[in-house]
Amino acid sequence: MPVGTLASVKSLTTEQLKSLDPQIILNNTYHLMLRPGVELIERLGGVHRFQAWDRAILSDSGGFQVFSLASIRKVREEGVEFRSHIDGSLHFLSPETSVDIQQRMGVDIAMAFDECPPYGWSREEIEKSLEMTHRWAKRSVAAHAAAPPALFGIVQGGTHHDLRKRSVEEIASLDFDGIAIGGVAVGETKEEMLDTMRFTTPLLPADKPRYLMGVGTPEDLLDGVAAGVDMFDCVMPTRHARNGSLFTSRGKVVIKNAQYADDGGPLDPECSCLTCRTVSRAYLRHLYVNDEIASYVYNTIHNVWFYLDLMRGIRQAIASHSFAAFRATFLNRQPTTDNQ
Protein backbone atom coordinates (compact mmCIF):
# COMPACT_ATOMS: atom_id res chain seq x y z
CA MET A 1 0.00 0.00 0.00
CA PRO A 2 1.47 3.34 -1.02
CA VAL A 3 1.05 5.76 1.89
CA GLY A 4 -1.19 8.80 1.36
CA THR A 5 -0.59 10.49 4.69
CA LEU A 6 -2.77 13.55 4.16
CA ALA A 7 -5.10 12.02 1.56
CA SER A 8 -2.34 12.42 -1.03
CA VAL A 9 0.36 9.92 -1.94
CA LYS A 10 3.16 12.45 -1.83
CA SER A 11 4.14 14.05 -5.18
CA LEU A 12 1.41 12.33 -7.21
CA THR A 13 -1.97 13.37 -8.52
CA THR A 14 -4.63 10.72 -8.17
CA GLU A 15 -4.49 10.15 -11.93
CA GLN A 16 -0.77 9.45 -11.76
CA LEU A 17 -1.33 7.14 -8.82
CA LYS A 18 -3.99 5.24 -10.79
CA SER A 19 -1.59 4.79 -13.68
CA LEU A 20 0.67 2.88 -11.26
CA ASP A 21 -2.26 0.54 -10.55
CA PRO A 22 -2.21 -0.02 -6.78
CA GLN A 23 -5.13 -2.06 -5.46
CA ILE A 24 -5.26 -0.15 -2.20
CA ILE A 25 -3.60 2.81 -0.48
CA LEU A 26 -3.21 3.83 3.18
CA ASN A 27 -4.36 7.09 4.79
CA ASN A 28 -3.21 8.29 8.22
CA THR A 29 -6.09 8.88 10.63
CA TYR A 30 -3.98 11.00 13.00
CA HIS A 31 -2.97 13.43 10.25
CA LEU A 32 -6.42 13.64 8.69
CA MET A 33 -8.26 14.13 12.00
CA LEU A 34 -6.05 17.18 12.58
CA ARG A 35 -6.03 18.43 8.98
CA PRO A 36 -8.59 18.90 7.48
CA GLY A 37 -10.59 17.14 10.23
CA VAL A 38 -13.07 14.30 10.03
CA GLU A 39 -16.11 16.60 10.07
CA LEU A 40 -14.96 18.29 6.88
CA ILE A 41 -14.12 15.03 5.13
CA GLU A 42 -17.51 13.61 6.13
CA ARG A 43 -19.35 16.71 4.91
CA LEU A 44 -17.54 16.53 1.58
CA GLY A 45 -18.66 12.94 1.04
CA GLY A 46 -15.82 10.90 2.54
CA VAL A 47 -12.17 10.31 1.72
CA HIS A 48 -12.74 8.61 -1.61
CA ARG A 49 -14.48 11.61 -3.05
CA PHE A 50 -12.14 14.02 -1.23
CA GLN A 51 -9.01 12.60 -2.85
CA ALA A 52 -10.78 11.43 -6.02
CA TRP A 53 -9.69 7.82 -5.40
CA ASP A 54 -12.20 5.13 -6.31
CA ARG A 55 -10.20 2.10 -5.20
CA ALA A 56 -9.72 0.75 -1.68
CA ILE A 57 -8.38 2.82 1.21
CA LEU A 58 -7.09 1.43 4.51
CA SER A 59 -6.65 3.82 7.41
CA ASP A 60 -4.47 3.26 10.40
CA SER A 61 -6.04 3.84 13.81
CA GLY A 62 -4.09 6.98 14.65
CA GLY A 63 -2.35 5.17 17.48
CA PHE A 64 1.10 4.94 15.97
CA GLN A 65 1.33 8.68 15.22
CA VAL A 66 -0.17 9.64 18.58
CA PHE A 67 2.65 7.74 20.24
CA SER A 68 5.37 8.95 17.85
CA LEU A 69 4.35 12.53 16.91
CA ALA A 70 2.01 14.06 19.49
CA SER A 71 3.91 16.17 22.00
CA ILE A 72 1.91 15.73 25.20
CA ARG A 73 -0.35 12.86 26.03
CA LYS A 74 -2.04 11.00 28.84
CA VAL A 75 -2.54 7.31 28.27
CA ARG A 76 -5.43 5.95 30.33
CA GLU A 77 -7.54 2.84 30.14
CA GLU A 78 -10.23 4.95 28.50
CA GLY A 79 -7.94 6.18 25.72
CA VAL A 80 -5.22 8.70 24.92
CA GLU A 81 -5.35 12.45 25.39
CA PHE A 82 -2.81 14.24 23.24
CA ARG A 83 -1.86 17.58 21.80
CA SER A 84 -1.51 18.15 18.07
CA HIS A 85 2.11 18.42 16.94
CA ILE A 86 0.95 21.27 14.68
CA ASP A 87 -0.92 23.70 16.90
CA GLY A 88 -0.98 22.13 20.35
CA SER A 89 -4.75 21.66 20.27
CA LEU A 90 -6.13 18.96 22.59
CA HIS A 91 -7.56 15.73 21.14
CA PHE A 92 -8.69 12.34 22.39
CA LEU A 93 -8.49 8.94 20.76
CA SER A 94 -9.90 5.71 22.10
CA PRO A 95 -10.93 2.42 20.51
CA GLU A 96 -14.43 3.81 20.06
CA THR A 97 -13.50 7.25 18.72
CA SER A 98 -10.88 5.81 16.39
CA VAL A 99 -13.33 3.35 14.84
CA ASP A 100 -15.91 6.12 14.65
CA ILE A 101 -13.53 8.50 12.86
CA GLN A 102 -12.44 5.84 10.40
CA GLN A 103 -16.05 4.91 9.65
CA ARG A 104 -17.00 8.53 9.15
CA MET A 105 -14.08 9.08 6.79
CA GLY A 106 -15.53 6.21 4.79
CA VAL A 107 -12.46 4.00 4.45
CA ASP A 108 -12.68 0.38 3.30
CA ILE A 109 -10.48 -1.10 6.01
CA ALA A 110 -10.17 0.37 9.51
CA MET A 111 -7.53 -0.61 12.04
CA ALA A 112 -8.18 -1.25 15.72
CA PHE A 113 -6.70 1.33 18.10
CA ASP A 114 -3.66 -0.09 19.83
CA GLU A 115 -0.73 1.07 21.90
CA CYS A 116 2.51 0.67 19.97
CA PRO A 117 5.35 0.32 22.52
CA PRO A 118 8.50 2.12 21.41
CA TYR A 119 11.70 0.13 21.12
CA GLY A 120 13.51 -0.02 24.44
CA TRP A 121 10.57 -0.64 26.73
CA SER A 122 11.07 -3.37 29.32
CA ARG A 123 9.30 -6.68 29.02
CA GLU A 124 7.08 -5.69 31.94
CA GLU A 125 6.08 -2.43 30.28
CA ILE A 126 5.37 -4.20 27.01
CA GLU A 127 3.31 -6.89 28.76
CA LYS A 128 1.25 -4.29 30.61
CA SER A 129 0.71 -2.33 27.41
CA LEU A 130 -0.20 -5.51 25.56
CA GLU A 131 -2.95 -6.33 28.00
CA MET A 132 -4.47 -2.90 27.51
CA THR A 133 -4.16 -3.27 23.71
CA HIS A 134 -6.12 -6.55 24.00
CA ARG A 135 -8.87 -4.88 26.04
CA TRP A 136 -8.89 -2.07 23.49
CA ALA A 137 -9.19 -4.63 20.68
CA LYS A 138 -12.37 -6.02 22.27
CA ARG A 139 -13.75 -2.50 22.57
CA SER A 140 -12.88 -1.83 18.92
CA VAL A 141 -14.79 -4.90 17.80
CA ALA A 142 -17.74 -3.90 19.98
CA ALA A 143 -17.71 -0.36 18.59
CA HIS A 144 -17.57 -1.58 15.04
CA ALA A 145 -21.01 -2.24 13.60
CA ALA A 146 -21.40 -5.06 11.12
CA ALA A 147 -21.44 -2.48 8.33
CA PRO A 148 -18.33 -1.41 6.39
CA PRO A 149 -15.49 -0.76 6.83
CA ALA A 150 -13.76 -4.04 7.47
CA LEU A 151 -11.88 -4.00 10.77
CA PHE A 152 -8.39 -5.40 11.31
CA GLY A 153 -6.87 -6.20 14.69
CA ILE A 154 -3.24 -5.62 15.60
CA VAL A 155 -0.85 -8.01 17.30
CA GLN A 156 1.77 -6.44 19.59
CA GLY A 157 4.30 -7.91 22.04
CA GLY A 158 7.64 -6.34 21.14
CA THR A 159 10.37 -8.82 20.29
CA HIS A 160 9.16 -11.36 22.87
CA HIS A 161 7.98 -14.62 21.30
CA ASP A 162 5.73 -15.58 24.19
CA LEU A 163 4.04 -12.17 24.26
CA ARG A 164 3.58 -12.24 20.47
CA LYS A 165 2.06 -15.72 20.75
CA ARG A 166 -0.28 -14.62 23.51
CA SER A 167 -1.25 -11.56 21.46
CA VAL A 168 -2.01 -13.65 18.37
CA GLU A 169 -4.26 -15.90 20.47
CA GLU A 170 -6.14 -12.93 21.91
CA ILE A 171 -6.53 -11.02 18.65
CA ALA A 172 -7.33 -14.09 16.53
CA SER A 173 -10.13 -14.99 18.95
CA LEU A 174 -11.94 -11.74 18.18
CA ASP A 175 -14.18 -10.99 15.21
CA PHE A 176 -11.65 -9.17 13.03
CA ASP A 177 -11.61 -9.29 9.21
CA GLY A 178 -7.82 -9.33 9.07
CA ILE A 179 -4.87 -9.25 11.42
CA ALA A 180 -1.84 -7.01 11.41
CA ILE A 181 1.57 -7.37 13.00
CA GLY A 182 2.25 -4.02 14.65
CA GLY A 183 5.13 -2.80 16.77
CA VAL A 184 7.77 -3.65 14.17
CA ALA A 185 10.06 -1.23 12.34
CA VAL A 186 9.98 0.97 15.45
CA GLY A 187 13.73 1.07 16.11
CA GLU A 188 14.64 -2.59 16.64
CA THR A 189 17.40 -4.16 14.55
CA LYS A 190 16.67 -5.69 11.17
CA GLU A 191 17.36 -9.13 12.69
CA GLU A 192 14.88 -8.53 15.52
CA MET A 193 12.25 -7.30 13.04
CA LEU A 194 12.72 -10.34 10.81
CA ASP A 195 12.76 -12.71 13.79
CA THR A 196 9.53 -11.23 15.18
CA MET A 197 7.88 -11.31 11.77
CA ARG A 198 9.00 -14.87 11.01
CA PHE A 199 7.88 -16.10 14.41
CA THR A 200 4.53 -14.33 14.43
CA THR A 201 3.25 -14.64 10.87
CA PRO A 202 2.78 -18.44 10.78
CA LEU A 203 0.74 -18.20 14.00
CA LEU A 204 -1.87 -16.00 12.32
CA PRO A 205 -5.10 -17.51 10.96
CA ALA A 206 -4.62 -18.67 7.37
CA ASP A 207 -8.08 -17.56 6.29
CA LYS A 208 -7.65 -13.85 7.08
CA PRO A 209 -5.38 -11.26 5.45
CA ARG A 210 -2.08 -10.82 7.24
CA TYR A 211 -0.67 -7.31 7.24
CA LEU A 212 2.86 -6.36 8.30
CA MET A 213 2.75 -2.69 9.32
CA GLY A 214 5.38 -0.16 8.29
CA VAL A 215 7.70 -2.57 6.44
CA GLY A 216 9.93 -2.14 4.45
CA THR A 217 12.67 -2.63 1.83
CA PRO A 218 12.07 -4.76 -1.29
CA GLU A 219 14.04 -7.53 0.42
CA ASP A 220 11.81 -7.22 3.50
CA LEU A 221 8.72 -7.63 1.32
CA LEU A 222 10.14 -10.84 -0.12
CA ASP A 223 11.01 -12.07 3.37
CA GLY A 224 7.54 -11.16 4.58
CA VAL A 225 5.79 -12.96 1.75
CA ALA A 226 8.03 -15.99 2.31
CA ALA A 227 6.79 -16.04 5.92
CA GLY A 228 3.17 -15.69 4.82
CA VAL A 229 2.45 -11.95 4.89
CA ASP A 230 -0.20 -10.65 2.45
CA MET A 231 -0.13 -6.88 2.89
CA PHE A 232 2.44 -4.17 3.59
CA ASP A 233 2.59 -0.41 3.87
CA CYS A 234 5.66 1.75 3.91
CA VAL A 235 6.66 5.34 3.18
CA MET A 236 10.00 4.11 1.89
CA PRO A 237 9.27 4.32 -1.86
CA THR A 238 7.77 7.82 -1.67
CA ARG A 239 10.22 9.22 0.92
CA HIS A 240 13.29 7.78 -0.79
CA ALA A 241 12.03 9.17 -4.08
CA ARG A 242 12.06 12.67 -2.64
CA ASN A 243 15.61 12.07 -1.42
CA GLY A 244 16.70 10.89 -4.86
CA SER A 245 17.23 7.32 -3.70
CA LEU A 246 15.79 5.06 -6.37
CA PHE A 247 15.16 1.33 -6.33
CA THR A 248 16.11 -0.66 -9.43
CA SER A 249 16.36 -4.27 -10.51
CA ARG A 250 20.14 -3.96 -10.04
CA GLY A 251 20.13 -2.16 -6.72
CA LYS A 252 19.83 1.37 -5.39
CA VAL A 253 20.62 4.39 -7.56
CA VAL A 254 21.49 7.63 -5.73
CA ILE A 255 20.56 9.91 -8.59
CA LYS A 256 22.51 12.97 -7.45
CA ASN A 257 25.81 11.14 -7.93
CA ALA A 258 28.06 12.66 -10.59
CA GLN A 259 28.37 9.32 -12.36
CA TYR A 260 24.83 9.83 -13.73
CA ALA A 261 25.41 13.36 -15.08
CA ASP A 262 26.26 12.05 -18.54
CA ASP A 263 24.20 8.85 -18.46
CA GLY A 264 21.69 8.86 -21.29
CA GLY A 265 20.27 5.46 -20.36
CA PRO A 266 17.04 4.78 -18.50
CA LEU A 267 17.02 4.62 -14.71
CA ASP A 268 16.22 0.90 -14.83
CA PRO A 269 16.36 -0.70 -18.28
CA GLU A 270 14.03 -3.45 -17.11
CA CYS A 271 11.39 -1.15 -15.69
CA SER A 272 8.39 -0.13 -17.76
CA CYS A 273 7.27 2.86 -15.67
CA LEU A 274 6.70 6.26 -17.26
CA THR A 275 9.99 7.58 -15.87
CA CYS A 276 12.09 4.74 -17.25
CA ARG A 277 10.24 4.81 -20.58
CA THR A 278 10.62 8.54 -21.21
CA VAL A 279 13.63 10.17 -19.54
CA SER A 280 17.30 9.41 -18.84
CA ARG A 281 19.35 9.17 -15.67
CA ALA A 282 21.10 12.37 -16.81
CA TYR A 283 17.77 14.21 -16.96
CA LEU A 284 16.65 12.81 -13.59
CA ARG A 285 19.94 13.94 -12.04
CA HIS A 286 19.56 17.37 -13.66
CA LEU A 287 16.07 17.74 -12.17
CA TYR A 288 17.22 16.52 -8.77
CA VAL A 289 20.31 18.71 -8.37
CA ASN A 290 18.29 21.74 -9.50
CA ASP A 291 15.49 21.01 -7.05
CA GLU A 292 12.84 20.88 -9.76
CA ILE A 293 9.43 19.73 -8.54
CA ALA A 294 9.25 17.33 -11.48
CA SER A 295 12.16 15.47 -9.84
CA TYR A 296 9.88 14.40 -6.98
CA VAL A 297 7.20 13.38 -9.43
CA TYR A 298 9.39 11.32 -11.78
CA ASN A 299 11.22 9.67 -8.85
CA THR A 300 8.01 8.85 -7.00
CA ILE A 301 6.40 7.39 -10.11
CA HIS A 302 9.38 5.08 -10.48
CA ASN A 303 9.77 4.00 -6.85
CA VAL A 304 6.08 3.34 -6.29
CA TRP A 305 5.88 1.47 -9.59
CA PHE A 306 8.96 -0.55 -8.59
CA TYR A 307 7.31 -1.65 -5.33
CA LEU A 308 3.94 -2.37 -6.92
CA ASP A 309 5.59 -4.23 -9.78
CA LEU A 310 7.57 -6.30 -7.31
CA MET A 311 4.32 -7.26 -5.58
CA ARG A 312 2.66 -8.03 -8.93
CA GLY A 313 5.62 -10.26 -9.76
CA ILE A 314 5.32 -11.97 -6.38
CA ARG A 315 1.60 -12.63 -6.86
CA GLN A 316 2.20 -14.11 -10.32
CA ALA A 317 5.06 -16.23 -9.00
CA ILE A 318 2.89 -17.57 -6.18
CA ALA A 319 0.11 -18.37 -8.64
CA SER A 320 2.57 -20.29 -10.80
CA HIS A 321 4.24 -21.97 -7.80
CA SER A 322 7.59 -20.32 -8.51
CA PHE A 323 7.95 -17.85 -5.65
CA ALA A 324 11.21 -19.27 -4.34
CA ALA A 325 12.85 -18.96 -7.75
CA PHE A 326 11.42 -15.47 -8.22
CA ARG A 327 12.80 -14.36 -4.87
CA ALA A 328 16.23 -15.90 -5.51
CA THR A 329 16.46 -14.22 -8.91
CA PHE A 330 15.52 -10.85 -7.47
CA LEU A 331 17.96 -11.07 -4.59
CA ASN A 332 20.81 -12.38 -6.73
CA ARG A 333 20.64 -9.28 -8.88
CA GLN A 334 20.72 -6.85 -5.97
CA PRO A 335 24.19 -5.85 -4.79
CA THR A 336 25.09 -7.26 -1.39
CA THR A 337 25.84 -3.80 0.00
CA ASP A 338 23.40 -1.96 2.24
CA ASN A 339 20.05 -1.53 0.58
CA GLN A 340 18.28 0.22 3.42
Binding mask 284-303 for a second copy (x = CB under 8 A): --xx-xx-xxx-xxx--x--
Alpha helices by DSSP H, listed for 173-292, are 190-200, 218-227, 236-242, 274-278, 281-289
Out of 60, 114, 220, 268, which one is annotated catalytic?
Answer: 60
Q: How many residues bind a second copy (CB under 8 A)?
A: 40
Q: Least distance in Å: CB of 147 to a second copy? A: 24
Q: Distance between CA atoms of 111 and 152, rounded to whole angstroms?
A: 5
For a second copy, give the closer residue by CB, 19 or 320. Answer: 19
3-state secondary structure of 231: strand
Answer yes or no: are the C-beta atoms of 160 and 124 closer than 8 Å.
Answer: no
Radius of gyration of the chain (CA): 20
Q: Distance between CA atoms of 322 and 58, rounded to whole angstroms?
A: 29
Binding mask 8-47 for a second copy (x = CB under 8 A): x-xxxxxxx------------------xx---x--xxx--
3-state secondary structure of 25: strand
For a second copy, give the closer residue by CB, 293 or 319. Answer: 293
- Verify binding: residue 204, a second copy, rule CB under 8 A: no
Q: Catalytic: 21?
A: no
For a second copy, give the closer residue by CB, 91 or 198. Answer: 91
**CA separation, residue 76 to residues 60, 135, 138 (Å):** 20, 12, 16
Helix (H) or strand (E) holding 24: strand 24-27
Q: Least distance in Å: CB of 278 to a second copy? A: 4
Q: Catalytic: 60?
A: yes
158, 222, 223, 220: which is closest to 184 by C-alpha? Answer: 158
Q: Least distance in Å: CB of 1 to a second copy? A: 17
Q: Of 27, 29, 51, 159, which lies in the binding site for a second copy, with binding defined by CB under 8 A?
A: 51
Q: Least distance in Å: CB of 180 to a second copy? A: 26
Answer yes or no: are the C-beta atoms of 110 and 176 closer than 8 Å.
Answer: no
Stretch that binds a second copy, among 151-159, 171-179, 189-197, 283-291 (CB under 8 A): 283-291
Q: Least distance in Å: CB of 246 to a second copy? A: 15
Out of 114, 220, 223, 233, which one is annotated catalytic?
Answer: 233
A 10 A CB-CB count for 332 gives: 8
Tell me the sheet residues that pair with 232. 212
64, 65, 96: which is closest to 79 by C-alpha? Answer: 96
Question: Annotated catalytic sites, by residue?
Answer: 60, 233
Residues forming contacts to a second copy in the complex (CB under 8 A) are 6-8, 10-16, 35-36, 40, 43-45, 50-52, 242, 261-262, 264, 274, 278-280, 282-283, 286-287, 289-290, 292-294, 296-298, 301
